[in-house]
Amino acid sequence: MNTPMRRLTPVIVAVLAAVIAAEPIVAAAADSDELQEIVVTARKREETLQNVPVTEDAFTQQAIQSAGIESPRDFVAMVPNMTLVETQNVGNSFITIRGISQARNSEPSTAVLVDGVLEPNPYEFDQELFDITQIEVLKGPQGALYGRDAIGGAIIIQTAELADHFEGDGKIGVGNGVSEKAQVAASGPIDDAGTLRYRASLNFYNTDGYLENSNLGEKADPYRDYSGRLRLVWKPNDQWTADLRAYRDRVDTTAYYYVIPRSDEANPFSSFTTPPNANDISSPIQDQNLGSDYRDITDIALKLDYHIEPGTFTSVSDYNFTKEIDTGDAYDFRPIKDSIAYNYFFAGIPAADGGPAGESQSQFIAEKTESEELRFTSNKIGGFSWIAGAYFIHTQRFISTGNLFDRGDGVPAVYETPLVDPANPYATNTNATFLADSQNNNAWAVFGDATYEFSKQWELDAAIRYDQDHRENTTDTPEQFLPDPTAHTGEVRDATFDAAQPKGTLRYKPTDDLTFYGGWSRGFRSGGFNQTGVGYIVSHETPPQLGVHDIFQAEIADTWEVGAKSEWLDHRLSANMALYYTKDTNGYFFFYDSTTSTQNLGNLNALYKGGELELNARPTNWLDLYANYGYNYGSITGMEDPRVIGNKPPLLTQDTVNAGIQVHEPIGDGLRGIARLDYQMLGRTWWDPYDVTSRNPVNLIDLRAGVEADRWSLTAWSKNLTNKLYNAEFSPGGFLWRAPPRRYGLDFGFKF
């Protein structure tokens, strides 16, 4: 049997030999009795976390390693009033912060920056996190500094710093699901003077999967990831710094392994009458096709800094190309002869043409962006400092979606052109539906921020940004597949979305250990286009789907917020709290049209109000504790369909609890023992404007335990320790997406 341990045994032996032969590494400083002071860059300046007047969670390199943070889902699970849904395909992951969420193929709800470079495509967010030194999560609209996608907040990720002498580290591990991983990073100077330095890191992760497909007798969710990052920093003098970064990622996995329960499994038509239930875990995954999902990301960025006495000029140039092709079953995700398509939709296909058929689907998305940011950050003069800048991004985007006839010969990937057979329209693997659109978008912004300290106690921060986004959509669907008789191939639609995003914050520090802050901010998320013809289709359905059109409108969120940050007991305890009130206009909601297999957005208005309480404690130098609670009340206040007024907004989670304990203690001979337990409670969650169902609260536990020395560590871990079975998502139409079950493994980390 080709187990992961057997495949990795030569690697483990080589690594152990390298670690034993390596020069000793200087031991870390003795554990402090106080909480660690964390420096953050929330306002594009270095400040301590306790001083910055922003509701923010931060994870240092030590916290990332201790908690085993290896993907976005890991740190999201530790932040109150923040959730992440991973569904359908690897590019579809929805961040929700304080109720502001996103949907398939939508603009993100949160700006994500890696080393100061904005990720332009939400399809790249869900990736392996390796060689990371800090993660910051900012809540509330942050568009004044971070732009049109920061309507819910911002996530700032810093990769590991470059070393001034050669050093490296890595990790290898195995686990259930026949999983294996290997990571390695190295850094050091290139020239003798040390003006040119590098850092290179590689990541490999592979698993056969954890969720069973009962029809195929194999795992539904195999996953393989190859990724690498190269960074070169040239600092010829104190004035100039050039930072070149390149990132490449390739994911090979599957898609569309949904479950649609039936009250009578023997009756295919009972799918139509089975009440939707987000808590139903009784029906198995049973797709006819395992499906496929390939995502490729290429990102190259150049950051230039020029320091002069008044401040720093910064240029950030970025090129990004992200594409994803995914295939799999279509509604209702069952073996062909047991499917709705076979028994109802395609039952009339003549036997001479192959008889009734099932249905599969394919979606292709390719997005290329080129962006440039120029800004000046002043030094502090007296109590005054400021930032001014401009931003431009050009986006070329293509999307095609379609259903195909399925007779058990697999699902082909369909890219720009539909598969057709003029002699037999029902031939195997030909398109039953096909829609394709391309976009050519240009967006620009100007922004400024000014901060003034009136005294040691009082500070005022005022910022504003103006964004304009012009989008041009071309219909690439061939005439024979256009569902709208008024549309035509080559049709061009265009729209411009723009808004100012102001923000004002007042900070008061009566003592060094106590900070009060409050203010108002506005966030903006651009509108866009559903695929050509969707608006016509849904308006002619019985009953029509209200709120969905060929164009969805831009979203505006206005937030009032007050908060306090404090430290107590000689910096052994921190207690932070925040309260907010958000009026959201033209928020997104998701609608799936089964006739064209398209994923569409509509608009609604909502009100959100709630708060967070966060406690961190270090009672002794061997014990760390944290406990967070977030509460979020949401209500729909407006939509074309008045029946939803007063309902819960989509993807709203009512409350969250995050808590943990970590023990770290010397055990002799230079070894330290570490044990850590993390708990997460996801409160009741609603999924669509009609509130047809809600998911009951979910309780999850992660556990880690191990030993470490100065140059190596060995850690046993488990995520979802109690094997809680639940659905990660309910999608309108009755679609359920299973969450991962219990996972566990063993990791060996090393330095050289």
| pLDDT in the model for residue 14 | 41
pLDDT confidence of residue 346: 83
Whether the predicted pLDDT of 470 surpasses 50: yes
pLDDT range class, residue 597, cuts 50, 70, 90: low
The CA distance from 174 to 78, in Å, is 24
Top pLDDT among 317 and 669 is at 317
Q: Is the pLDDT of residue 308 over 50?
A: yes
* C-alpha–C-alpha distance, residues 685 and 477, integer Å: 37
In our burial notation (b when 16+ CB lie closer than 10 A, e otherwise), range 387-418 reads: bebebebebebbbbbbbbbbbeeebbebeeeb
Lowest mean per-residue pLDDT among 321-325, 432-436, 654-658: 432-436
Structure tokens at 1: 């049997």
| Other CB atoms within 10 A of residue 661 CB | 15
What was the pLDDT predicted at 532?
A: 83
- Per-residue pLDDT band for 540 (boundaries 50, 70, 90) equals confident
Confidence of residue 10 (pLDDT cuts 50, 70, 90): very low
Check residue 31 and give its pLDDT.
Answer: 60
In this predicted structure, what is the pLDDT of residue 179?
97
Residue 211's pLDDT band, with cuts at 50, 70 and 90, is very high
Which is more confidently placed, 489 or 590?
489
Average pLDDT over residues 665-673: 92
Comparison of pLDDT for 727 and 598, the residue scoring more: 727
Residues 66-112 pLDDT 10s: 999 999 999 999 999 999 999 999 988 899 999 999 888 788 899 99
User: What residues contact 536, with CB distance under 8 A and at least 6 apart?
Assistant: 483, 484, 485, 486, 487, 550
Q: Are 185 and 505 in contact (CB under 8 A)?
A: no
Q: What is the mean pLDDT of the chain?
A: 91
> Which residue has tokens 């875990």?
281
- pLDDT value, residue 429: 84
**What totals of helices (H) and strands (E) does the chain contain, helices first?**
6, 39
Average pLDDT over residues 346-362: 84
Instruction: Give the confidence band of 18 by pLDDT, cuts at 50, 70, 90.
Output: very low
Q: What per-residue confidence (pLDDT) applies to 29? A: 35
Residue 481: count other Cβ atoms within 10 Å of its Cβ.
Answer: 18
Q: Is 517 helix (H, G, I), strand (E, B) or coil?
A: strand
Whether the per-residue pLDDT at 17 is higher than 80: the answer is no
Question: Which position has the higher pLDDT, 292 or 272?
Answer: 292
The full set of domains in the chain, from first to last, is 4-751 (2.40.170.20)
Amino acid symbol at 645: I
Q: Which has more pLDDT, 542 or 405?
A: 405
**pLDDT score of 490 more than 50:** yes
Average pLDDT rounded to a whole number, residues 267-287: 92
Q: Please say whether the beta carbons of 101 and 742 come within 8 A.
A: no
If we measure between CA atoms, which residue out of 637, 648, 653, 579 comes closest to residue 613?
579
Q: What is the pLDDT of residue 1?
A: 42
Question: In this predicted model, what pLDDT tens digit does every residue of 553-578 receive, in sequence order?
Answer: 999 999 999 999 999 999 999 999 99
Q: Flag whether pLDDT at 258 surpasses 60.
A: yes
Could you tell me the pLDDT band of residue 56, with boundaries at 50, 70 and 90? Answer: very high
pLDDT, residue 2, reads 46
pLDDT at residue 5 is higher than 50? no
If we measure between CA atoms, which residue out of 683, 725, 730 comes closest to residue 82? 683
Confidence of residue 591 (pLDDT cuts 50, 70, 90): confident
- 17-26, 116-125, 356-365, 386-395: lowest mean pLDDT where? 17-26
Confidence of residue 24 (pLDDT cuts 50, 70, 90): very low
Per residue in 647-656, pLDDT (tens digit) is 999 999 999 9
